[in-house]
């Protein structure tokens, strides 16, 4: 028994490694073999989470309605409105932007564009899926939240993989610890 000890250890480790790999393969296969959901099932799940599913046609119709209701006219046919006509949506799928109702707020044209509201000194930055720490640091520097993006990257390197997708809201001039806490906060 003693003379075959190394062989037995190798054989046992091989069996354990093989079983582990087989379990990983089966788990991955189960995740990729999901059953396609019907529109009704998708609507039900969206409703449970407080969301609304729209087809492209319904979305475009709602966008057109919103744009037409937000552009006031002078009332007479043939006269032009005070505001320029709404621009068509861009190739990225971003909705047309009209004049903001509040003069102190700026409206983002892209999903990852920051929203700056000077009235209460709050700054919102959208953290998108797959954004790197460098991209976030550069955005924070552009917004004036951090002075040196390289210094912030060095401080925040441990949380680079822990940032959560969603809107990060900053008030005033936060410290690096406050910024890091907001980046890793679970967002809805």
Domains of the chain are: 39-70 (no CATH), 106-188 (3.30.1490.480)
How many Cβ atoms are within 10 Å of 44's Cβ, its own excluded?
A: 12
Helices 149-156 and 176-184 pack at an angle, to 10 degrees, of: 60
Asked whether the beta carbons of 81 and 73 are under 8 A apart, the reply is: yes
β-sheet bridge partners, residue 126: 167
Find where tokens 């900053």 sit.
170
Over its C-alpha atoms, the chain yields an Rg (Å, rounded) of 26
What is the per-residue pLDDT across 18-62, written as a single tens digit (0 to 9) for each?
A: 999 999 988 887 776 666 778 888 888 888 888 888 888 888 998
pLDDT digits (tens, 9 = 90+) for 141-187: 998 889 998 999 999 999 888 888 888 888 888 999 999 999 998 88
Question: Which pair of tokens denotes residue 70?
Answer: 């937000």
Q: Map residue 54 onto helix, strand or coil.
A: coil
pTM over 0.85: no
Tokens of 157: 């390197």
What is the per-residue pLDDT across 82-116, written as a single tens digit (0 to 9) for each? 544 444 443 333 434 444 444 444 444 444 444 44
């Amino acid at each position: 028994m003693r003379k075959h000890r190394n062989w037995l250890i190798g054989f046992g480790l091989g069996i354990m490694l093989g079983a582990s790999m087989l379990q990983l393969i089966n788990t991955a296969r189960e995740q990729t073999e999901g059953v396609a959901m019907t529109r009704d099932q998708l609507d039900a799940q969206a409703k449970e989470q407080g969301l609304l599913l729209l087809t492209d046609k319904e979305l475009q119709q709602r966008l057109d309605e919103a744009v037409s209701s937000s552009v006031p006219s002078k009332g007479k046919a043939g006269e032009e409105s005070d505001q320029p006509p709404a621009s068509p949506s861009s190739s990225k799928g971003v909705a047309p932007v009209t004049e903001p109702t509040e003069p102190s707020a700026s409206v983002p044209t892209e999903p990852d564009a920051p929203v700056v509201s000077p009235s209460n000194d709050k700054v919102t930055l959208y953290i998108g899926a797959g954004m790197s720490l460098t991209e976030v640091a550069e955005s924070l520097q552009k917004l004036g939240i951090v002075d040196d993006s390289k210094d912030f990257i060095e401080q925040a390197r441990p949380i680079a993989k822990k940032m959560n997708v969603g809107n990060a809201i900053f008030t005033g001039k936060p410290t690096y610890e406050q910024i890091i806490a907001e980046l890793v906060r679970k967002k809805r």
